[in-house]
Amino acid sequence: MKLIAIRWTALPGALLIAAGMAMGQSSTPPAQPKPDPTVHQRKENQQDRIANGVQSGQLTAGETTSLEHREAAINGETRADRAADGGKLTPAERRQINQQQNQVSHQIYQDKHNANTAHYGNTEVGQRRGNQQARIAQGVRSGQLTAGETAHLENRERNTNQQIRADRTANGGRLTPGERTQVNREQNRTSRQIYRDKHNARTQGKAKP
């Protein structure tokens, strides 16, 4: 009788040990590291960051022009490398492009966190500037505007902004009716160019490794 009692009291402990071993074997394996983003994925990510900076006013038109010129240069180099290598990038070319994208990424961060911001104001001229920057940001985010097109548009915006500042400085902070008419003409031209660039056949392109 004592032997039977010992066996039954040992059984729950044995079951607990077996259950613990089964749980350990069925636990989820450790997560595998994510693959590095492709060249195109990094380009899209940086374009999104630029678009967010344009929309929020953290990036001025001049800063955006400079960033998009650098993006356009990288895109041109990538296309040339692919054309020379049957549509693919060699490991050395991919490393070189990643280094350049790292530099642009660092510049985006610096430009978005410095003291320079875009101020549009509540005037008619200011509201139009803000509206056109929002349209540019949407085009960058959607891929409808290439880096080169964005750089060209932002360069026009920068020139208009410089003219507005100079006119206000010369007139005690205000624009004369003639100056306002001139600025509106320039904004009309930029508005039409935004539309054309967003609706032409050029886009940021589709993802490739």
The helices-and-strands tally (H runs, E runs) of the chain is 7, 0
For 70-93, write each residue's pLDDT tens digit: 999 999 999 999 999 999 999 999
pLDDT at 122: 87
pLDDT at 23 over 70: no
**pTM of this prediction exceeds 0.75:** yes
Measured CA to CA in angstroms, residue 164 lies from 58, 184, 191 at distances of 19, 11, 17
Which residue from 153, 60, 155 is spatially nearest to 111, judged by alpha carbons?
60
**184-204: average pLDDT:** 95
Question: pLDDT class for 19, splitting at 50, 70, 90?
Answer: low
What are the residues whose beta carbons fall under 8 Å from the beta carbon of 151, sequence distance 6 or more?
64, 65, 68, 69, 71, 72
**32-38: average pLDDT:** 65
Domain assignments of the chain as residue spans, ordered by start = 39-199
- How many C-beta atoms lie closer than 10 Å to residue 55's C-beta? 17
Q: How much of the chain exceeds pLDDT 90, in percent?
A: 75
Q: Could you give the CA distance from residue 197 to residue 41 in angstroms, rounded to a whole number?
A: 23
Q: Could you give the CA distance from residue 143 to residue 131 in angstroms, rounded to a whole number?
A: 18
Q: Is the dihedral of CA 140, 157, 69, 83 positive or negative?
A: positive
Residue linked to tokens 């010129």 = 69
